[in-house]
Amino acid sequence: MNEGLPKMQAMIVDITADNFQQMVLENSFHLPVLVDFWAPWCGPCKQILPQLENLAQSWAGRFILAKINTEEQTELANQFQIKSIPSFKLYKNGKVIAELQGAHPLAKFKEMLEPHLKAEPSEELRLQAQEAFQVGNYDEVVRLLGEAAQANPNNYRVHLDLVKMYLHTGNLEQGQSLFDKLPEEAQNSPEGKPLKLLMRFGKIVDESPSIEDIQATLREDPGNAEALYGLVGYLIIHNAFEEAFKALLKLFSSHKDFQDNIAQKTLVELFESLKDSHPELVKNYRRKLQMLMF
């Protein structure tokens, strides 16, 4: 599963008045079609479009991303009374079933699309693998993820799941090796970005005292900077991001100069990595950091 991963073939099409009937309306009887009304001069359009293209890559075969350049396709823009961009319409069975206006977090588009996606065998196997992981049956996890990768080699979330398992079981080198073989769109996906943090903090945890020693230190000295940062490492590799935010804010408040303001730098890095997968959490703690700063 680690070698020779094929390139994803996303269904991304440019729409004109001539192909709208076929590419959007007719195709929507087979797959959901997300229509993106955009323009080259539109800043928010340029912000969200690459994210949607990455989503089309990672969900290849499950929906179609149809792009309409309103500067070139004025007839379509007028037909659909597009007053502001970006503007999005989701088609299914020839009809608009959902709409969005403006730039939203990627999670919002996933939320709109997911109820209408066809069942995907590799996703079922991923869910079974996650259940096996919860009970510590790691051999079964590897077997199920291997089947999932065979069922859909384009589903990079399968490979990211395996990276995650390696990291949580202390196999940092294997996790890093597999992650490095994945394409950039997978590494920089909402699921991939947090794994970069897990790998970096996994190395920090390897060099830190045990979690029992860190907790004992913090019981005696709750503001100990070294112990607080070590705790952050353990929290991050176990996906306890909110607790990690709390520990970093405490470190920032009490030891702002510790390791050249590492608390603030780590918070900013976490915000960037988690903004798509945990938008509300990031928004909340970004505000808390700003309040402490100003």
User: Rg of the Cα trace of the chain?
Assistant: 22
Q: Is 42 a catalytic residue?
A: yes
Tokens of 217: 């230190």
Catalytic residue among 24, 45, 165, 270: 45
Q: Are 198 and 236 in contact (CB under 8 A)?
A: yes
Candidates 71, 76, 103; CA nearest to 88 is 103
> Of all residues in the chain, what percent are helix, strand and coil, respectively (each to 5)?
60, 10, 30
Please spell the DSSP secondary structure of 13-46, one letter per residue.
Answer: EE--TTTHIIIIIIGGGTS-EEEEEE-TT-HHHH
Q: Is 165 a catalytic residue?
A: no
Catalytic residue among 8, 15, 35, 42: 42
Please name the amino acid found at residue 76: L
Place of tokens 């029992």: 212
Q: Are 234 and 214 in contact (CB under 8 A)?
A: yes
Q: How would you write 234-293 as a 3-class SS string?
A: HHHHCCCHHHHHHHHHHHHHHCCCCCCCHHHHHHHHHHHHHCCCCHHHHHHHHHHHHHHH
Question: Catalytic residues, which ones?
Answer: 42, 45
